[in-house]
Amino acid sequence: MKRLLLLCLLLLLAGCGQETTVPAREIVVQSEDAAPREPEQQARGLRLASSRIVFVTHGQASDQFWTVVRRGSREAGRQTGAAVSYRAPDSFSIARMRQLIDQAVLDHPDGLVVSVPDVEALGPSIKRAVEEGIPTITINSGADAFKSLGVLAHIGQPEYKAGVEAGERLGQAGVKRALCVNQETGNGGLNERCRGLQTGLRRSGGTIREVSVPLQDPAAAQRRLSEAITENSVDGIVTLGPGAAQPAIRAVSAAGARARITLATFDLSQEVLEAVRDGEILFAVDQQPYLQGYLPVILLSEQARHQIFPGKGSLIPTGPQFVTKENAEDVIRLSAEGIR
């Protein structure tokens, strides 16, 4: 494919009376929503990318959170002229993620962006990318382990810290016995959230019990939560992602427990924001997924073009921020634009 693109480009240039040699590895057709950095990069409709950047995340197709991450990456690709490829398993699968990372390393892009829900399983593949000289950034999960991987930086939310702050807010609201609802068992970042919730709620004398639910089956998730509400005398429920928030709302309503159970969630969706605005959810923890897609492309594009990178080895925090009834309406407007 690369050789074919090289031949086409040389033929186009020859038609203009010029003779130019272009290394095949540098010829990349941009995604259709990317804008070329310079006018001369266009050749009769063929647009050349300034760099190639590959995303590999654990985000499931049914999770609205990752739609916002992807939108951020596309917008940054359009602005920088980078060709951005986004890859993720159809359902949560560490094994499939590892395969996707290994495939990306073989292709040797100008930049690699990876979420790290399981550092032990994914670490060797990520380290291989670094050893191969591929500039790599981790995002989202992995804030507690990225330095051991040798990547340029991590962009995301310190999950334990976010959990602690959320737990403290629950305690201030009077919650004493809460459920931590995990929709991706085995995701280290979600485990850190739940651990942080325990720490934060314990400061006011409360406790947390973890419950696992299937993200891709909302009805089954609601049944599991209804059982947990019945089996345990709880006065709070925290979902670790927006996909579990609606089943939690329905389970609480079906149990006739809206007056005694306080709901909160991590991450945003249109439904979550409306529930916060309407008082059904006390707060939502926002880690700004748009920036987790946008910032890596900006940084890796500059690394590819100018060999410059700010704050190597640093955590660039995108959260936690809290959406409450007071500011939910403003965030809803931004959510309609695909930014929050």
Indicate the pairing of strand 207-212 with strand 177-182.
Answer: parallel
Chain-centre distance for alpha carbon 267? 10
| Arithmetic mean of pLDDT, 277-293 | 97
CA–CA distances in Å: residue 96 to residues 70, 93, 332: 19, 5, 34
The secondary structure of 196-236 as a DSSP string is HHHHHHHTTT-EEEEEE--TT-HHHHHHHHHHHHHHS--SE
What is the per-residue pLDDT for 318?
A: 97
Distance of alpha carbon 340 from alpha carbon 135, whole angstroms: 27
Kindly indicate the confidence band of residue 300, based on its pLDDT and cuts at 50, 70 and 90.
very high
Q: What is the pLDDT of residue 29?
A: 38
Mean pLDDT, residues 247-268 taken together: 95
- φ, ψ of residue 223 to 5 degrees: the values are -60, -45
pLDDT over 70 at 35, yes or no: no
Q: 230, 181, 239: which is closest to 210 by C-alpha? A: 181
Helices (H), the chain: 2-15, 64-80, 94-107, 119-131, 159-172, 188-202, 218-231, 245-254, 270-277, 289-306, 328-336
Which residues are CB-neighbours of 166 under 8 A, at least 6 positions away? Answer: 193, 196, 197, 200, 238, 264, 266, 283, 285, 320
Q: What is the pLDDT of residues 142-176, one digit of tens each?
A: 998 999 999 999 999 999 999 999 999 999 999 99
- The pLDDT value given to residue 216: 82
* Cα angle for residues 118, 77, 20 (degrees, 5° grid): 120
Q: How confident is the model at residue 62 (pLDDT cuts 50, 70, 90)?
A: low
Does residue 30 carry a pLDDT above 80? no
What's the mean pLDDT in 13-19?
Answer: 40
Residue 57 scores a pLDDT above 60: yes
Indicate the helix (H) or strand (E) that contains 156: strand 153-156
CA distance 335 to 26: 36
Residue 27, pLDDT > 70, answer no
Q: Over the chain, what is the mean pLDDT?
A: 87
Res. 309: pLDDT tops 50: yes
Q: Could you give the CA distance from residue 98 to residue 94 in angstroms, rounded to a whole number?
A: 6
pLDDT score, position 45: 45
User: Residues of the chain with pLDDT > 70: what percent?
Assistant: 85
pTM: 0.80
H-helix segments, 86-158: 94-107, 119-131
End-to-end CA, the chain: 38
Domains of the chain (ranges; CATH) run 2-157+289-309 (3.40.50.2300), 159-286+324-332 (3.40.50.2300)
Q: How far apart are CA 43 and CA 312, in angstroms?
A: 36
